[in-house]
Chain A
Amino acid sequence: HYAMKVKVLSRNPDDYVRETKLDIQRVPRNYDPSLHPFEVTREYTRALNATKLERVFAKPFLASLDGHRDGVNCMAKHPKSLSTILSGSCDGELKLWNLTKRECVRTLQAHEGFVRGVVVRFCGSSFFTIGDDKNIKQWKMETPGYGEEEEPINTILGKSVFTSIDHHHKDAVFVTSGQQVDIWDEQRTSPIRSFSWGVDSINCVRFNPVETELLASCASDRSIVLYDMREAAPLKKVIMTMRSNTLCWNPMEAYHFTCCNEDYNLYTYDMRYLDKPYTVHMDHVSAVLDVDYSPTGQEFVSASFDKSIRIFPKDGGHSREVYHTKRMQHVICIKWSSDNKYILSGSDEMNIRLWKANAAEKLGMLAPREKAAVNYNQKLKEKFQHHPQIRRIARHRHLPKAVYSQVKEIRIMKEARSRKERNVRKHAKPGSMPVVTEKEKHVVTVVK
């Protein structure tokens, strides 16, 4: 009659047993920091690995859409459909593309000569094109049925060549530029209002997507002019040292716009203070031809004559990314897709290229754990971004030789100039040579 007592360790199974076998194993942890003396070092290693992996997976190029028989001159996003884009080429041909299938769904001979601009109406039911033949044409978005002729809905014969077109974001109003800025009602064949200030031709005109009555244009007399559709006269003009090619408004910040300039730089302006740009974005090594904002308004992408595409943060002076391929020539036009995921570039060598906006991003749906891992890695990279090794790896990019050498050359030139300026200042009468900042350097004057 011995009742032996045996003491055993007992644990509550709830603490360690999974509910289903698909669950993750439970790992009880003690989060007391004193028990984890190496937390920083471990995280550093993780950050380093994450950075390396990011570079490993950075493969931004997705597809090339070929089919044009001349250089792609203009592109337009569909406001309601992510998978549709339109592109016009230098031989007057216009193509509609399905991005998911990566194929052309419709081709039409829109103009004789260049298709200078294409824009989709805000509802997505029709689009407008302009060409070197001085025509404005409105087309239906739907493909004509069997036996129907491919014909524009409307055609307006202009007096002079139009250089660009943009559509109002809410009303049935569009704007063209050429010798002057014309605002058209869709129902009329003559402009309801015309703005002109000076005699030079205007390259580009864009509606503000937020304050929809505002417009901005850049002209070949190196000026950027602001307009308000409701006013009788233009608002203000800023003249820069070199010509701006195109501009784009920030879709999230009503008063910011960015223009791309012939002097290799991009300038972000606050439209209220035109006397100097808000930020100067430098990195391109040749004229910048086109710019488009991401729909989140945090970044923008620029296309350049130096055969590369760069992505800039909206307030950063230097690009965070550069895309290029061997076969891509001068990039004429660029668009950032409305879901903030892709970038489309149209270039001289007749191709449209599809890129990822984040080079190392995994596309498609992510499992929750994957998402958590991505977020964690992102946070780690951000946290340790100033550490030299991590920064070196994160910033490393391969460049075409021409661009690489050009970058070096430009750097040397800049240094030489600044050195000279410094020396001159040193030997000048004190105060006679005021220091001009980089921002102020590029603005000649503001005209009221």
Chain B
Amino acid sequence: MAKSKTTRKKGKVTKMTSATVVVQGTEDDEEELHQALTEDVISASEDEGGSDDERKHCRLLEAISSLGGKTRKKLTERSEASIQVSEFTVNAEGEGDKINLSDLIGTLDKAPTALTATKKQLKNLEHNHTALDTPLTRKETEQIQRVVAFEKTSKEVSRWQSVVVQNQKAEQLVFPLNQEPSGPKRMEHVVSGWKAQTPLEQEIFNLLHVNQQPLHNPVLTQNEEATMKAMSLEEAKIRRAELQKVRALQSYYEAKARREKKIKSKTYHRVQKKVMRKEYLKRFDEMVKTDPAAALEELKKMELSRMKERMSLKHQNSGKWARSKAIMAKYDDGARKAMQQQLEVNKDLTMKLVIPTNEEDEDEVAEALPDFVNDAEPILDPINPWMRGKLSTEPAAQEESNCLVPPAAGPGDVKAGDGPDLLREEEEQVEETEEEAILRGFEERRKLRRAKDAVEVAPVVMEESEEMPTGKKAEMVTIESSDDDDEVVEISEFTSLYRGLVKDHVEPPVEPPRAGADPCVSQGEGPALLEEGLVRVRTLEDMELLGQDVSACEPAPQTTQTLSTEQTEPQSATKQADGKRKRKKMIDPNEVLTKEAKVIKVPFAPTAVEDVEDTDEQRFIIKEAFAGDDVISDFLKDKKKQESAGMPKVVDLTLPGWGEWGGGGLQPSRSKRKRFRIKVAPPPPRKDQKLLNVILSEKRNSSVAAHQVSQVMFPFTNPAQFERTIRAPVGHTWNTGNAVQKITAPKIVTQLGAIIEPISREELVKGENQAVTGKSNLRSDQGPQQKRRSQQKKKHKHKKN
């Protein structure tokens, strides 16, 4: 191939050279230009020219030699592959030229018509490009065949991979593989070899035959057989387990749904609905982004439902509740308000909107309304909006009222007013949501605290004075007075809540008063409360906020306290402490810790280097942390202990009462004791005797070492793994019979005297099926050892119980 290429190239080259020669002959001016164009060619042509000369020389020599008379034919040596020289030293002219098909019949001169036709045909053939390539050599074809065949075969063989891997991983392999399935055998199989032989058998056979009794009564019906074939036992088990699981899940779900349905609490359903609605909206928003067409559909649906709502006569003040309210409205302010609200809602609903509002929202509000109206009594506690257990509809207005209306009643009155209030509320809302409960709890606690602040400081101090050294830490006492552990947590919760409130307080004018706004706020607060862990740390800021809170609420109690004369002293104390309160609320360790802490002297690091301040600090901290530890003395003690443990002890073999009187209060005689006391010779000096900083253990026993594993062997990666396998005993002394059987099951089981056939293609099909289901027929992956461990665990638990 390469050869032909070179020849073709050279042919071209010769042509070019001839062309240049012509040019040289005619126009000398352009020679240089041409040379520049065909620079690379020219060098080759020069070579050619050289070879031409050589050849001429050869020919000349030949001619001279032939002159000598002897016509000896001499083959010149062919030293170079060149087109001009053939093997027989014949100059092959035009070898590099392309041969046309028509050239082949160029010599045929006779029958010119046929010739032209053929020429034409040949020309067409030339233009036709569908001609086949030259076939590959036999060697190459064979190789291609082989490669293709090998790929095909290896692919086919690779189907066994799953089976092979499965067998490698299997805990147990039972051979022969294709054993007959256990279970009922078909009657035909059993009976097929049997023949009535004895006269009795023949008689019975005849009888049965006469009566047309079915002799071959199949054990399994055709359907049963089909099912047996369709699914193996293992598969069936897997399938059953799956179904069971699904059924269980379904029943759980159903039970849950039923439970939820039974809940009567409106609040619960309202919250639920709200969550649903939120989710729905979220989904809707997503849908708008992802699938606008579907979103439009949804929108239409929403619109439709709203229209339905409009058509129905809900919120028309025609219900039972509305009628009763209408009667009450004359006398009751709250009822009137409720009526008005209802009317507003109705107006909202029946108003034709361009943008469809969520019907559930309105519905929800409508549902919420009755609750609201029912507890609409005049606000008794002007100071605290929390006192009502529910937030009022117009917080801003109430805040105003709180500020404006001076409290008429003293703390005692407040209490008296609150008591029944709370009771009533509790009656009404037994099934409050958690948030509300928490809120109310805070409010109560706060009230209590305030009351304590004002009134009950002294008695509490009296109570707590046993524990606390002085009574001057009044505030601290008030904080810690209640014994509940979760008090602190609740307080912190309260403070956070309060912070939220403070924020609200700061910007009430910004927020326009709207119906149902406050429940929203409370709901919004809810999750935040829930998110707070139980162990929220009380920070200084919290305390400060608490202080603010107290001080903010302070004026009212103060004014009330001017009326009450008895509690002037504690009141004055609080007044006094107003400035220092923050600091006082901090717990003083000196007060709490009765035992004096060890004073630690820590050498300070040189402070000159500024860069290493951080590291120094770190070191300082570490030093401080470990300052109490004296490592060196500990080590020395340890060493001494080891030494003393290594020293032999005197063995006392004295038996009291032998050879003399024995009994209570009688000691064996000294001589006897001396006789029977055996002193053991001191051991050889310790190897670490002279090494101050080293303890060399002398416990190592070389005879034991011979039995110990010195390195981690192959399947294990760390010593702990290895030890774990060794630790689990396998014998029946430590395991139940069944466990032992499972643990000690051999890896390969063969049947005595059974021929084991090579694995058959049916296994492959089975293996593939199992690969799909993802189970092995041989053993589950959980080893018996693990099972045993779990058993033991259970046992331990049992014992503990």
Contact = CB atoms under 8 A, between A and B. Distances in A.
Interface of A: 29, 31-33, 36, 39-40, 42-44, 46, 79-80, 82, 169, 209-211, 214, 226, 228, 231-236, 251-255, 271-272, 295-298, 338-341, 365, 372, 375-376, 378-380, 383-384, 386-389, 448
A375 B744 contact: yes
Given A231-B149, A233-B146, A254 B157 contact: yes
A255 B158 contact: yes
B635 to A, nearest CB: 31
A234 B167 CA distance: 30
B755 interface: yes
Interface of B: 142-143, 145-147, 149-150, 152-154, 156-158, 160, 164, 167, 173, 175, 706-710, 713, 722, 725-727, 729-736, 740-741, 743-746, 748, 750-761, 792, 795, 799
A36 B734 contact: yes
A29 B736 CA distance: 9
Contacts of A211: 156-157, 160
B707 A388 contact: yes
Given A82-B753, A228-B153, A375-B744, A40 B734 contact: no
Nearest to B156: A211
Contact of A296 (B147, B713, B748): B748
Contact of A32 (B164, B732, B746, B795): B795
A209 B758 contact: yes
Contacts of A298: 748
Contacts of B741: 372
B750 A233 contact: no
Contact of B729 (A39, A210, A226, A228): A39
Given A228-B149, A235-B153, A387-B707, A296 B734 contact: no
Given A214-B153, A372-B741, A389 B706 contact: yes
Contact of B746 (A43, A375, A387, A389): A375
29 contacts: A32-B795, A36-B729, A40-B726, A40-B727, A42-B731, A79-B755, A82-B755, A211-B157, A228-B149, A231-B153, A233-B145, A233-B149, A235-B146, A236-B146, A251-B758, A253-B160, A253-B167, A255-B160, A255-B164, A295-B757, A338-B755, A372-B744, A380-B731, A383-B725, A383-B726, A388-B707, A388-B710, A448-B147, A448-B150
Contacts of A378: 744, 746
A384 B727 CA distance: 11
A339 B750 contact: yes
A181 to B, nearest CB: 14
Contacts of A296: 173, 175, 748, 750, 756
A272 B154 contact: yes
B759 A36 contact: no
A214 B155 CA distance: 13
A43 B734 CA distance: 10
A46 B727 contact: no
B314 to A, nearest CB: 70
Contacts of A44: 707
B163 to A, nearest CB: 8
A341 B752 CA distance: 9
A372 B761 CA distance: 34
A398 B107 CA distance: 91
Contact of A33 (B154, B710, B722, B734): B734
A386 B713 contact: yes
A226 B756 contact: no
Contacts of A383: 725-726, 730
Contacts of A80: 755
Given A33-B792, A43-B729, A339-B750, 9 more contacts: A43-B731, A210-B761, A251-B758, A254-B160, A295-B755, A339-B754, A365-B752, A376-B744, A389-B706
B759 A252 contact: yes
B741 to A, nearest CB: 7
B736 to A, nearest CB: 7
A255 B150 contact: no
Contacts of B153: 214, 226, 228, 231, 235
A33 B175 CA distance: 36
A187 to B, nearest CB: 25
Closest 9 CB pairs of A and B: A295-B756, A251-B758, A209-B758, A231-B149, A254-B160, A272-B154, A235-B150, A375-B744, A386-B713
A345 to B, nearest CB: 20
A36 B725 CA distance: 17
Contacts of A226: 150, 153
Nearest to B735: A31
A31 B613 CA distance: 60
Nearest to A272: B154
Which of B726, B795, B799 gathers most chain A CB within 10 Å? B726
A228 B152 CA distance: 10
B171 to A, nearest CB: 12
Contacts of B757: 295
Contacts of A386: 709, 713, 722
A379 B708 CA distance: 19
Contacts of A380: 730-731
Contacts of A252: 164, 167, 758-759
A241 B435 CA distance: 83
A82 B751 CA distance: 13
Contacts of B142: 233
A250 to B, nearest CB: 9
Nearest to B173: A296
B57 to A, nearest CB: 49
Nearest to B725: A383
Contacts of B751: 339
B784 to A, nearest CB: 10
Which of A44, A169, A233 gathers most chain B CB within 10 Å? A233
A214 B713 contact: no
Nearest to A379: B744
A446 B206 CA distance: 73
Contact of B731 (A46, A169, A209, A253): A46
Contact of A340 (B727, B746, B750): B750
Contact of A31 (B145, B725, B734): B734
Nearest to B743: A379
A73 to B, nearest CB: 25
A33 B734 CA distance: 7
A251 B759 contact: yes
Contacts of B149: 228, 231-233, 235
Contact of B154 (A271, A339, A379): A271
A297 B154 CA distance: 20
Nearest to B714: A386
A341 B746 CA distance: 15
A195 to B, nearest CB: 11
B725 A42 contact: no
Contact of B164 (A232, A235, A253, A379): A253
Nearest to A338: B755
A376 B755 contact: no
Nearest to A386: B713
A214 B147 CA distance: 15
A233 B160 CA distance: 24
Contacts of B760: 210
B387 to A, nearest CB: 61
A296 B792 CA distance: 36
Contacts of A235: 146, 149-150, 153
B749 to A, nearest CB: 10
Which of A29, A251, A255 gathers most chain B CB within 10 Å? A255
B709 A376 contact: no
Contacts of B743: 379
A386 B715 CA distance: 11
A45 to B, nearest CB: 10
Nearest to B746: A375
A232 B730 contact: no
A348 B604 CA distance: 91
Contacts of B754: 339
A355 B799 CA distance: 53
Contacts of A46: 731
Contacts of A295: 175, 755-758
